[in-house]
Structure 1
Amino acid sequence: MNYTEVLILTLSFLVLLSIRVPVAYAIGLSGLFTLMVAMPFMPSVTTLAQRMATSLDSFTLSAIPFFILAGQIMNKGGIAVRLINFAKAIVGPLPGGLAFVNIFACMLFGAISGSAVAAASAIGGFMNPMMEKEGYDKPFSAAVNITSSTTGLLIPPSNVLIIYSLASGGVSIAALFVAGYLPGLLIGFALMMVAGVYSVIKKYPTEKLVSFKEFFKRFLDALPSLLLLVVVIGGIVAGIFTATEASAIAVIYTFVLAMAYKEISFKSIASILLETIKTSSIVLLLIATSIAMSWVMSYENIPQEISNALLSVSENPIIILILINLILLFVGVFMDMTPAILIFTPIFLPIVTDLGMNPIHFGIVMILNLCIGLCTPPVGSVLFVGCSVAELSIQKVIRPLMPLFLIMILVLVLITYIPQLSLWLPKIFDL
């Protein structure tokens, strides 16, 4: 390993980020600068361009634009309102009812849309004014919305689980999808515990218990949206279709549903497609530059050196996992989730598999680490969206965010050291 080139890679990336160069460009340029030290300019450019182009030549990656499109349709198709009404019927009467509704609705919407940002925007836009009207502190409402929105990245279908499958060299997407259920639900219930205690202390009001007739009506309203999870995940697990085919089915299903709800028209399709193209372009550019940087790191033998350095500290799996978790939590604070998965999976996965850790289990641990990073400044995209929707500064949200943030770390520890929380369901389904 050439330490000069490693220094160039690290410093150039940090400097570019510090002067607010977009993450995708910062990753690509730092990779290019590093290659230029090892080889002439033109071979460096053509090698990086080739790696970026070939990285996107993947049938699996086709699922991402489709799931993004499905999420955009859901965001504007009246699905959020129906899920919120259903959540109010289930958890509204509990202590801190509207906080529970916020968390439960984010879990449902995040799982269906596969996007934490979409959940924070759609659910937060409805729930924050509702909670403020009922007497809830505005910063607390925003903090609940921000943290619970990340659960949808673990509860399938999830784009980041697909990206991890790609970065890991082909871990089963179906197994990852099924493995995400229990950890995602555990995070949601842990957040509810904290929100419930906070609400009892603050004496926040609860919702009235709805009649069985009203409950059944709300359930029927939300049922078509909930069935999307059954169709998509059931089809993948049963082997009826692949994750990519499931994403296309999700688009058709959500479009038909949104048209049936009469929440979107044919005129609005153009704006939905344009937004999908913009979001997909950003994600795919991040993927291309991240895979190129990952190749540069492999070329410089960096993953092997990091592996040797970690194992030189200790060969105890508990200590190694603590170190990896700390590194990923730190990385999540400064780097977006997609490049973090693509860059650090090839580094850490060989280490943990040598220690006997299942790649499916590590994928869930890694994504939960980075989910926590989405809630933290300075690059916490969900934090910024949640604060923007609530019309609050980040400083005002940090204090109520801390206990929710800490319970997420506690759940991370449980999931790290109790593998069956991630592996039990895949084992049942023989995945």
Structure 2
Amino acid sequence: MISILMLFASFFGLLWYGVPVAYSIGISTTVTILLNIALLPGITTVAQRMTTGIDSFPLLAIPFFVLAGELMNRGGVANRLINLAKSLVGSLPGGLAYVNTLAAMLFGAISGSAVAAASAIGSVMTDRMESEGYPRPFSAALNITASTTGLLIPPSNVLIIYALASGGAASVEALFIAGYVPGILVGLALMGVAAVIAYKRKFQRGERTSLGQIWLDFRRAFFSLLMLVVVVGGIVLGFFTATEAAAVAVAYALVLGAAYRTISFKDLPSIILNSGKTTAVVMFLICTSMAMSWLFSFEGIPQLMTDFLLNTVSNPILIFLLINLTLLVVGTFMDMTPAVLIFTPIFLPVVVSLGMDPVHFGIVMVLNLCIGLCTPPVGTILFVGAGIAKISVAEVIKPLLPFLAAMIAVLMLITFFEDITLWLPRVFGL
């Protein structure tokens, strides 16, 4: 009990003091281990657990998907997707709100990054929406929440990380397929909220697009959209693993950028450098988080949590609500990668003992943490979206609330109706 108290007290104390999350995890883990083990073996244990934590073939997919996303971001894909979305839904009342959402969903799914989607789509759509009478805080709030759908719709790095944290209980392939319906539901829910607001505020309707223009915009965006089919289709059909698919995605994005003439050889050093920096941050978070996860097992925390919840709360519905509430709170102050790696070993045994499928729980967990990315005080996408829109975070909070409510409604729906998440994996036999 002393070790557990030391672990959490030091961890949250360091976070409160402003120490970066990865360092907070590593320092608190090391201090707690040294309570039980001598200095030299204790330090050696932490180093071993950090290195063996990333000694995983599936994790090779992360740097490749990061690089593919950077190539797509630099390759002019965002404008093509925005033009296609505007052709499809721009003529509806409040049409640019739907364009923002649909474009963020498509770009987020292709790039696998919520930050990239918020940056690429927000930088284009915010000014365009303002010129047609949409308030900047509304545009920013919609862009912030819509950008997170790419973390559910594959390919998604966080789903790969959850598969690792689950200890093989959930496969990457099953998680990729399972993310489609919940991700689309979140997008539709956001569009629904935008439609109500557009009707009340009488946002203007865009110009009707001809079938010829729709076809032209589809042709221009076709090869960008085809990346999803190549990557996910290849995994499902068994042509390559998720890691191999990530390498295919890099090659595809590179060829696409060259074909569009938006990426040249002189751009590659900066693209690779930015991808390397992002990968280094993610991998360091994984290293320290895996060391903390091992410490949880060493101290028996997952078993203690399982016994506590099952013995004190008899109703499974209340347990699921309690876990959701905990993850929503965690998401407000912790980045998604360490949250998945730290809390999956704690909560997964609980939900599995209650009959929840590990794949289902993975999607529920990711959606919980997606909501956290949009909320203060540490919401990464919140700050990125506000920065792109050139407004303060305080201005975004009020228009953000109805969109967060829509995301929470979808969260409750997929939590208690698992067929929404699992029917596609079952169709493909995953």
Q: CA deviation at 1:40?
A: 1.4
Code of the aligned partner of 1:97: G
SS of 1:35's equivalent in the other structure is helix
Superposition map of 1:173-322 within 5 A: 173-322=172-321
Q: CA deviation at 1:421?
A: 0.6
1:34-88: CA deviations, max 9, x gaps?
0111111221111000000011111100000000000001111000000000000
Determine the structure 2 residue equivalent to 1:99. 97
How many angstroms apart in 2 are the aligned matches of 1:315 and 1:425? Answer: 31
Determine the structure 2 residue equivalent to 1:48. 46
Unaligned segments of structure 2, at least 5 residues: none
Q: CA deviation at 1:315?
A: 2.7
Q: CA deviation at 1:11?
A: 1.3
Code of the aligned partner of 1:219: F
1:373-412: CA deviations, max 9, x gaps?
0000111111110011011111100000000001110110
Code of the aligned partner of 1:162: I
Counterpart among 133, 137, 140 of residue 139 in structure 1:
137
Determine the structure 2 residue equivalent to 1:29. 27
Q: CA deviation at 1:162?
A: 0.4
SS of 1:184's equivalent in the other structure is helix
How many angstroms apart in 1 are the aligned matches of 2:334 and 2:50? Answer: 19
Determine the structure 1 residue equivalent to 2:425. 426
Q: CA deviation at 1:303?
A: 1.3
SS of 1:392's equivalent in the other structure is coil
Counterpart among 7, 10, 27 of residue 9 in structure 1:
7
Q: CA deviation at 1:136?
A: 0.4
Code of the aligned partner of 2:406: I
Q: Is 1:70 equivalent to 2:72 in the alignment?
A: no
Query: Aligned residues: percent identity?
Result: 60
How many angstroms apart in 2 are the aligned matches of 1:333 and 1:311? Answer: 26
How many angstroms apart in 1 are the aligned matches of 2:278 and 2:124? Answer: 23
SS of 2:154's equivalent in the other structure is coil
Code of the aligned partner of 2:179: G
TM-score of the superposition, structure 2-length normalised?
0.99
Q: Is 1:84 equivalent to 2:82 in the alignment?
A: yes
1:96-128: CA deviations, max 9, x gaps?
111110000000000001110110011001001
Q: CA deviation at 1:413?
A: 0.3
List, as ranges, runs of 4+ consecutive aligned residues in structure 1 with deviation greater than 4 Å: none
How many angstroms apart in 2 are the aligned matches of 1:335 and 1:207? Answer: 40
CA RMSD in angstroms, aligned pairs only:
0.7
Code of the aligned partner of 1:232: V
Counterpart among 111, 124, 127 of residue 126 in structure 1:
124
Unaligned segments of structure 1, at least 5 residues: none
Code of the aligned partner of 1:25: Y
Determine the structure 1 residue equivalent to 2:151. 153
How many angstroms apart in 2 are the aligned matches of 1:214 and 1:24? Answer: 48
Q: CA deviation at 1:169?
A: 1.1
SS of 1:81's equivalent in the other structure is helix
Aligned pairs, number = 429
How many angstroms apart in 2 are the aligned matches of 1:312 and 1:391? Answer: 50
Q: CA deviation at 1:244?
A: 0.3
Determine the structure 1 residue equivalent to 2:55. 57
TM-score of the superposition, structure 1-length normalised?
0.99
